Structure 1
Amino acid sequence: MIVIKTMEEIMKMKQAGEILAACHKEIAKMIKPGISTMEIDKFAEKFMLDHGATPEQKGYHGYPFATCASVNDVICHGFPSKEMILKDGDIVTVDMVVNLNGWLADSAWSYGVGQVAPQTQKLLDVTKESMYKGIEKAVIGNRIGDISNAIQVYAEAEGFSVVRDFIGHGIGSEMHEEPQVPHYGPAGRGTRLKEGMVLTIEPMLNIGKYHAKVDPDGWTARTVDGSLSAQYEHTLAITADGPFLITKQT
């Protein structure tokens, strides 16, 4: 069942989103060769707690960290680690969900570490732009497939593949609500968008094949061919004035 939110509820989510966006802006300043992904995780958890919020991911189905930290060929759900030291040319995606007074906001952001190769930078740029291509279609009367298709058409035209195994979703007081939001597929299909729906749009693009494999830890998803992967994600509400970004970074 799709839970329609009131504007009051959307604004409560926006408050969570403001904390999340501010945390990402601080993390961006931290990203450099020599830092560990565990340092980033500890910072993010303290930041949330200091702002009266909690990390919703921690404890979710047993997940032990406040963030997911996915490096290079890790598509998503990477475990933060003291041993994972970022080096020049890496990509790291930091994904987190903020809970503020029972309302959630979800956003992932990919960061290049130091000097990255031109193809790596193109992957980052195209992945971010593909997210915004999808967001442009998140308007009343469109269908989920219009979001999905806009992302896929743009990403593939730029030479990248779109991950199929992990998708966007509704969100509110629960992390995963209906509807599901794939980042690939034909336009004009799927649930029709209505005012008050709140979604995540979170494309994951790979330089190589789109297929994923999961590590023995049951969480860490990687590209099957070892190619680089990037992800960008916003939480947004469908409103009469167009898509309203709950996790906008200003």
Structure 2
Amino acid sequence: MINLDMQDLNRATMKHLIKNIETGMSLSEIRRICEKFMLDNGADSFWYWNIGAFVFAGDETTVSVSGKDYQTSERIIGLNDIITVDLSPQNNNIWGDYARTIIIEDGKVIDKIENIRNSEWKQGLQMEQYLHKLLIENAAPDMTFEELYYFINDVISNHGFLNLDFAGNLGHSIVEDKNDRIYTEKGNKAKLSEVKMFTFEPHISTPNSKYGYKLEDIYYFRKGKLEKL
């Protein structure tokens, strides 16, 4: 068994999936690949409703649903497809939380955004990268979760995108009990530095589009500077 912390395990799981994903696979197969790899390599369970991988594809990528209501579909991956995968492993109550959007064109995973031919998909992933860049450049220890919520949602709107999250938030604190999480949402006056770590996971789309995009990482402050775990 590889000894990985949970976020390293997430990165390894996504690499494993990208190496093994194929046209014709169902979303349930993708979920099984991810969950087996995580359990084989350090996870003892999954912290979010006991689901290790939330998987959506095509026009399902705009769906935002609580884990208690999630059902993995039997949708089949096509030659040209978009897939979102959100991973939730834990070991001894230490969480990992990580999401990526995978693009398949002509049956192959496109590993660099600049090589994506579908301009709509490319723009969506570029926007995700831009939002994470803005987070790192602008988040400060004394900024509140509400201030971050308004700042990022204004950027999303001003660039012609929508926040798809079913609760309207952009992430949450990392804790031992999922019921203790606080969110990047309106009304949360807690400062970012009042939690040890928090996720940033904008789920976005453009108006009237069939497709959604996710990019999630965990962040924390080190000597007053925001860093990615």
TM-score greater than 0.5 by the shorter chain = yes
Corresponding residue pairs, total: 208
Indicate the residue corresponding to 1:52 in structure 2. Answer: 42
Match of 2:90 in 1: 99
Partner of 1:171: 174
Contact 2:64–2:165 under 8 Å retained in 1: no
Q: Contact 1:127/1:155 (CA < 8 Å) preserved in 2?
A: no
1:21 to 3, 6, 11: 11
**What CA distance in whole angstroms lies between the structure 2 residues aligned with 1:95 and 1:112?**
15
> How far does residue 174 in structure 1 lie from its aligned partner after superposition?
2.3
Gaps of 5+ in 2: 107-116
TM-score (ref. length: structure 2):
0.77
**1:123 positional shift:** 1.1
Tell me the secondary structure at the aligned position of residue 101 of structure 2. Answer: strand
DSSP 3-state at the match of 1:139: coil
Superposition pairs for residues 194-209 of structure 1, below 5 Å? 194=193, 196-208=195-207
State the AA in 2 paired with 1:53.
A
Of Structure 1 and Structure 2, which has the larger fraction of its residues in strand? 1
Matched residue type, 1:243: L
Cα 1:128–1:33 change in 2 (3 A) is: farther
2:102 to 108, 111, 119: 111
Does the alignment pair 1:240 with 2:220? Answer: no
| TM-score normalized with structure 1 length | 0.72
What percentage of residue pairs aligned between the two structures are identical? 21
Contact between 2:141 and 2:224, CA under 8 Å: does it hold in 1? no
Deviation per CA, 1:197-232, whole angstroms, max 9, x where unpaired?
Answer: 211111011122xxxxxxxxxxxxxxxx56211111
In structure 2, distance between residues paired with 1:112 and 1:39: 17
RMSD of aligned alpha carbons:
2.7
CA offsets 1:179-208 (integer angstroms, 9 cap, x no match): 2113xx79xx83222265211111011122
Contact between 2:79 and 2:105, CA under 8 Å: does it hold in 1?
yes
1 or 2 for the larger relative contact order (CA 8 Å, sep ≥6)?
Answer: 1
Counting only pairs closer than 5 Å after superposition, residues 22-37 of structure 1 correspond to structure 2 as: 22-37=12-27
Higher helix share: 2
